[in-house]
Amino acid sequence: MNKGQTDNQGARDAAIHIVKRLKSSGFTALFAGGCVRDMCMGRNPSDYDVATNAPPSTIRELFDHVVEVGAAFGVSRVLLNDTTTEVAAFRTDVGIADGRHPAAVRFCGPEEDARRRDFTINGMFFDPIENKVLDFIGGRQDIEQRLVRAIGDPAERFAEDYLRMLRAVRFAGTLDFEIESCTMESIRRLASRVADISVERIQYELTRLLTESPHAGRAMQLLFDAGLLNVILPEVAAMAGQGQSPDFHPEGDVFTHTIMMLDSMEPARSATLAYAVLFHDIGKPPTAETIQEETGGERIRFHGHAAKGGALTEAIMKRLHMSSQLIADVVHCVCNHMRFMDVQRMRTAKLRRMIAAPTFEVELELHRLDCLNSHGDLGNYHFLRDFMQQIGNEPALPPPWITGNDIMALGIPEGPQVGLWHRRAYEAQLENRFSSREELLMWIRESTQIDRET
């Protein structure tokens, strides 16, 4: 294996130093877990974990800066050269306490340690000194077959920590793997137990799945097929089977449309865009109604689905304990995604306000994905891009030429009329109806004089 196969050379160097120090003191020490999987796949690990038979007391003796983060489990963090490396003792879990923590642990060797880990692709070790992979559970074969397979009995592995079911889908999504059939069947049987997991842990897995999966729609479909989506996001699962007008959505139901949009996202995507795509049509099932047309046919309508979707989105994201800013941004995108159909009829001032929104680039990309994965008409998208090019480097919302004091100086008494004329003046400025502040002041003076005379 190529030792230089990483962009995170500092983290690798620190981990190798720890391994060498432990080995020179007579202990076994190996890279463990995800970093080994990534190296076997030719990927660049973001961090490195070390597993050893040295007890935590020895770790404290050998290294100057050590923080114990799980003394009962033999887990420490070693700070070396501004890099933190997790160092864990080989252990096996004894009993199940709460679906997340074992009742007890027993320290052991690497092979027994490998058999208590979650999936074969995460259960390998690597000796960086001898440049050798230690694979006791068939991890390399499953990497070659692109499979996520639980180690041993899947039901036992999941009972040890029910979050592992979500992790199975996340790994399948981010690595573009399949889930092995017995592992998948066990997830389906135990899916309801995900409700016992803390919302913070669920949200972490869901966000990584949406932002890191090369085909996030496929990953979301896996969540649905595994029975997990109905437990963690029943509002999203309800989109499956919800029909739409074939005139605008020849692709199929609301869930199919959303899956296609998720799959079409660019690799470098924000959580804001990912959640906006996921939730943009979540208001359709509760607002769906079938109406009779004059021709005798039927048509499905979703009156007010954007506003309903915004309310549902806010409730869901609060339930998952997401940040206030992320919630506000995603809700704004969901509530306003339908206004793009009217942009070519909007006044210039309204367009400028629209593109000045902090979320506008996300909204525009949401609109593009929405169109591409339904009727295919990108006319409004290109219209907005052209408009943005026309205003060039100008700020979308430049400072107003006229202040409230200017308006009162023209003879308008302090009160609601000042605000009214201030808004009118700013709209006129945004729409380029006047070339200077002086012309705008003259227009206000003349207009207010007419109003007073009448």
- The residue with greater pLDDT, 359 or 401, is 359
Does 4 have pLDDT greater than 50? no
Last residue of a domain, one of 382, 398, 414: 398
Dump the DSSP string for 120-149.
GGGS-EEETTTTEEE-SS-HHHHHHTTEE-
In a domain, 49, yes or no: yes
Average pLDDT over residues 27-41: 95
Half-sphere exposure of 421 (CA within 13 A, CB side): 28
Nearest to 77 by CA among 50, 95, 98: 50
Confidence tier at 2 by pLDDT (50, 70, 90): very low
Q: Report whether 217 contacts 259 (CB < 8 A).
A: yes
In a domain, 335, yes or no: yes
DSSP, collapsed to helix, strand or coil, labels residue 77 as: strand
What's residue 20's pLDDT?
Answer: 96
Query: Are 418 and 371 contained in the same domain?
Result: no
Q: Tell me the pLDDT tens digit for each residue of 92-137.
A: 765 554 555 555 556 678 898 899 899 999 999 999 999 999 999 9
Q: Tell me the pLDDT tens digit for each residue of 221-244.
A: 999 999 999 999 999 999 999 988
Average pLDDT over residues 308-312: 97
CA 220-260-279 angle, to 5 degrees, is 60
Query: Are 370 and 299 contained in the same domain?
Result: yes
**Residue-level length of the chain:** 454
Query: Are 75 and 126 contained in the same domain?
Result: yes
Query: Are 310 and 439 contained in the same domain?
Result: no
What's residue 418's pLDDT?
Answer: 79
Q: Report whether 281 contacts 305 (CB < 8 A).
A: yes
| Residue numbers of the domain that contains 49 | 1-139
Query: Are 288 and 412 contained in the same domain?
Result: no
Q: Tell me the pLDDT tens digit for each residue of 192-211.
A: 999 999 999 999 999 999 99
Dump the DSSP string for 274-315.
HHHHHHTTTTHHHH-EEEE-TTS-EEEE-TTHHHHHHHHHHH
Average pLDDT over residues 319-344: 96
The CATH number that applies at residue 6 is 3.30.460.10
Count of domains forming the chain: 3
β-bridge pairing 49-52 and 83-89: parallel
DSSP, collapsed to helix, strand or coil, labels residue 238 as: coil
Q: How many CB atoms lie within 10 A of CB 438?
A: 10
Lowest mean pLDDT of 261-265, 316-320, 412-416, name the range.
412-416
In a domain, 250, yes or no: no
Does 334 have pLDDT greater than 50? yes
Nearest to 99 by CA among 252, 24, 201, 9: 201
Query: Are 284 and 412 contained in the same domain?
Result: no
What's residue 407's pLDDT?
Answer: 83
Nearest to 263 by CA among 336, 340, 209, 328: 209
What's residue 243's pLDDT?
Answer: 81
In a domain, 257, yes or no: no
Average pLDDT over residues 178-188: 98
Highest mean predicted confidence (pLDDT) among 333-337, 345-349, 405-409, 427-431: 333-337
Lowest mean pLDDT of 297-306, 311-320, 360-369, name the range.
297-306
